[in-house]
Structure 1
Amino acid sequence: MGCGSWMRLESNASFVPSMRDSVGVMPSEEHTSIELSGTDRPGLLSEMCAVLADLHCNVVNAEIWTHNARAAAVVHVTDDSTGCAIKDLNRLTTIKELLCNVLRGNSELKAAKMTLATPGVTNRDRRLHQLMFADRDYEKVERAELQRIEDKGSRPHVTALDCSQKDYTVVTMRSKDRPKLLFDIICTLTDMQYVVFHGMVNTGRMEAYQEFYIRHVDGLPISSEAERERVVQCLEAAIERRASEGLELQLCTDDRVGLLSDITRIFRENSLCIKRAEISTKGGKAIDTFYVTDVTGNTVDPKIIDSVRRQIGQTILQVRRNSSPPPKAPQGTTMGYLFGNLFKARSFQNFKLIRSYS
Structure 2
Amino acid sequence: MRSVGVKQTMDHTEIELTGSDRPGLLSELSAVLKHLKCNVVNAEVWTHNTRAAAVIQVTDEETGTSITNLERLSRIKALLCNVLKGSNKSSLAKTIVSHSVTHTDRRLHQMMFADRDYEQTGEDVLEDRQRPNVDVVNWYDKDYSVVTIRCKDRPKLLFDTVCTLTDMGYVVFHAKIDTEGPESYQEYYIRHVDGSPVKSDAERQRVTQCLEAAIKRRVSEGLKLELCTTDRVGLLSDVTRIFRENSLTVSRAEVTTKDGKAVNTFYVRDASGYPVDAKAIEFIRQVIGQTILKVKGSPEDVKSVSQEPPTRFLFGGLFKSRSFVNFSLVRSYS
TM range (shorter): 0.7 to 0.9
SS at 1:246 equivalent: strand
Counterpart Cα distance in 1 of 2:124 and 2:88: 18
Which of these residues, 239, 243, 251, is aligned with residue 267 of structure 1?
Answer: 243
Q: One-letter code of the match for 2:76? A: I
Aligned equivalents of 1:298, 1:125: Cα separation in 2: 29
Q: 1:26–1:284: structure 2 CA closer, same or farther, 3 Å change rule? A: same
Structure 2 unaligned blocks of 5 or more: 1-5, 293-323
Shift of 1:80: 0.3
Q: 42, 56, 68: which is aligned to 2:37?
A: 56
Q: In structure 2, which of residues 109, 112, 129 is the aligned counterpart of residue 129 of structure 1?
A: 109
Report what 2:71 is aligned to: 90
Match of 1:154 in 2: 130
Q: Which residue of 2 aligns with 1:217?
A: 193
How many residues were matched structurally?
A: 296
C-alpha change, 1:250 and 1:296, in structure 2 (3 Å) is same
Structure 1 unmatched runs, 5+: 1-24, 326-358
Name the residue aligned to 1:355: none
> Conserved in 2, the CA contact under 8 Å of 1:252 and 1:317?
yes
Q: Counterpart of 1:317?
A: 325
Tell me, what secondary structure is at the counterpart of 2:129?
A: helix
CA distance in 1, matches of 2:179, 2:88: 40
Task: Tell me if structure 2 keeps the 8 A contact 1:247–1:299.
Answer: no
96 and 324 in structure 1: CA distance in 2 versus 1, 3 angstrom threshold: closer
Residue 53 of structure 2 contacts residue 108 of structure 2 at CA under 8 Å; is this kept in 1? yes
Partner of residue 206, structure 1: 182
Q: Give the C-alpha shift of residue 280 in structure 1.
A: 0.4
Q: Which has the higher contact order (CA 8 A, sep 6+)?
A: 1
CA distance in 1, matches of 2:42, 2:328: 21
Distance 2:151 2:272 in 1: 24
Q: Is the contact made by 1:37 and 1:113 (CA closer than 8 Å) also made in structure 2?
A: no
Deviating 4+ runs (over 6 angstroms): none
Q: TM-score, normalised by structure 1?
A: 0.78
TM-score by length of 2: 0.84
User: Is residue 140 from structure 1 mapped to residue 140 from structure 2 by the alignment?
Assistant: no
CA change 1:194–1:59 in 2 (3 A) is same
In 1, Cα distance between equivalents of 2:219 and 2:194: 32
Deviation at 1:166, TM superposition (A): 1.2
Q: CA deviation at 1:115?
A: 3.9
How much has 1:287 moved relative to structure 2?
0.3
**Which residue does 2:270 correspond to in 1?**
294
Distance change >3 Å, CA 297–CA 209, structure 1 → 2: farther
Look up the SS of the partner of 1:256 in the other structure.
Answer: coil
SS where residue 287 of structure 2 aligns?
Answer: helix
* Residue type of the alignment partner of 2:219: A
**What is the CA–CA distance in structure 2 between the aligned matches of 1:135 and 1:109, rounded to whole Å?**
17
Q: Do the aligned partners of 2:221 and 2:331 also contact (CA within 8 Å) in 1?
A: yes
Q: Please report how far the alpha carbon of residue 27 of structure 1 lies from its aligned counterpart in structure 2 after TM superposition.
A: 5.3
Superposed CA deviations along residues 4-54 of structure 1, whole A, max 9, x for unmatched, are xxxxxxxxxxxxxxxxxxxxx995211001000000000000000000000
- In the alignment, the residues of structure 2 paired with residue 156 and residue 268 of structure 1 have an alpha-carbon distance, to the nearest angstrom, of 31
> Structure 2: how far apart are the matches of 1:250 and 1:133?
28
1:148 Cα deviation after fit: 5.4
Please identify, of 305-314 and 76-85, the stretch whose mean Cα deviation from structure 2 is larger.
305-314
Going from structure 1 to structure 2, the CA distance change for 1:200 and 1:132 (only over 3 Å counts) comes to: same
Task: Determine helix, strand or coil for the equivalent of 1:153.
Answer: coil
Question: Offset at 1:261?
Answer: 0.2
Is this contact kept in 2: 1:168–1:215, CA < 8 A? yes
What percent identity do the matched residue pairs reach?
Answer: 59
For residues 108-127 of structure 1, what are the alpha-carbon distances to aligned partners after superposition, in whole Å with 9 as ceiling and x for unaligned?
Answer: 89634554544x43111000
Deviation readout 1:123-151 (Å, 9 max, x if unpaired):
1100000000000000111xxxx545542
Find the aligned partners of 1:193 and 1:200 in 2 and give their Cα distance. Answer: 20
Alpha-carbon deviation of 1:105? 0.6
Aligned to 2:311: none
Q: SS where residue 276 of structure 2 aligns? A: coil
Measure how far apart 1:311 and its partner are.
1.0
CA contact (8 A) 1:39 1:112 kept: no
Report the 3-state secondary structure (helix = DSSP H, G, I; strand = E; otherwise coil) of the residue aligned with 1:42: coil
Distance 2:85 2:102 in 1: 26
Q: Structure 1 residues 276 and 109, CA, compared in 2 at 3 Å: closer, same or farther?
A: farther
Of residues 258, 266, 284, the one that matches 1:282 is 258
The CA RMSD over aligned residues, in Å, is 2.0
1:188 aligned to which of 141, 144, 164: 164
Where 1:85 maps in the other structure, the secondary structure is: coil
Does 2:154 match 1:178? yes
